[in-house]
Amino acid sequence: MVSHPSGTIRRVADGAEYVTRAVVFHVDPSPAQERLLRSYCGAARWSYNWVIGEVTGNMMARTGERDAGIDAESMTPAMSWKAYPLRKQFNAMKYKVAPWSGEVAKHCFDTGVNQAAAALENWRTSKSGARGGKRVGFPSKKKRHTAKLSVSF
């Protein structure tokens, strides 16, 4: 791996060369811009928590039905943990569960849904033993005052 001052990182693996470009810059927002950025991060955290809550509720409902002896055809349908179906489900419910969603960019919600889908996939592969390293627990909800502020566009 070779690093260059322009931020270009060159990697050679399996005889092929890969180039990754990254730019690091300092952001100095005004107070109004900082409030907007914080609201974007809060929307991402909120959608992450919504997805984790929906998946947890679905899992609990299916477990209860299974324990009650309900046959598989009559059980609550299982949810997909992939980002695209979760995003479609969130967008269908967005105006009911988050009427304030028009105040922030839609990409904020996509960030939270994508992070939740990745966390669920990490847990699933860790639980099955397909993921290397330390075992990962089931994703927990992010707390308002202790969560890392993060959003992608």
| Cα 81 from Cα 94, distance rounded (Å) | 18
Which pLDDT tens digit goes with each residue over 55-76? 999 999 999 999 998 888 888 8
pLDDT-based confidence at residue 52 (cuts at 50, 70, 90): very high
Average pLDDT over residues 79-105: 93
Whether 80 contacts 86, CB under 8 Å: yes
The whole-chain average pLDDT of the chain stands at: 87
Calpha distance 107→105 (Å, rounded):
5
Q: What is the pLDDT of residue 131?
A: 83
More confident residue, 98 or 132: 98
Assessment of whether the complete model's pTM goes beyond 0.75 = yes
Distance CA 51, CA 58 (A): 11
Burial of 138 (0-12, 13-18, 19+ CB in 10 A): middle
Q: Has residue 2 got a pLDDT over 70?
A: no
Q: Which of 68, 83, 77 is nearest to 116 (CA)?
A: 83
In what helix (H) or strand (E) does residue 9 lie, and over which residues does it extend? strand 8-13
Q: How confident is the model at residue 121 (pLDDT cuts 50, 70, 90)?
A: very high
User: Burial code of 105-122, b = ≥16 C-beta within 10 A, e = fewer?
Assistant: eeebbbbbbbbbbebbbe
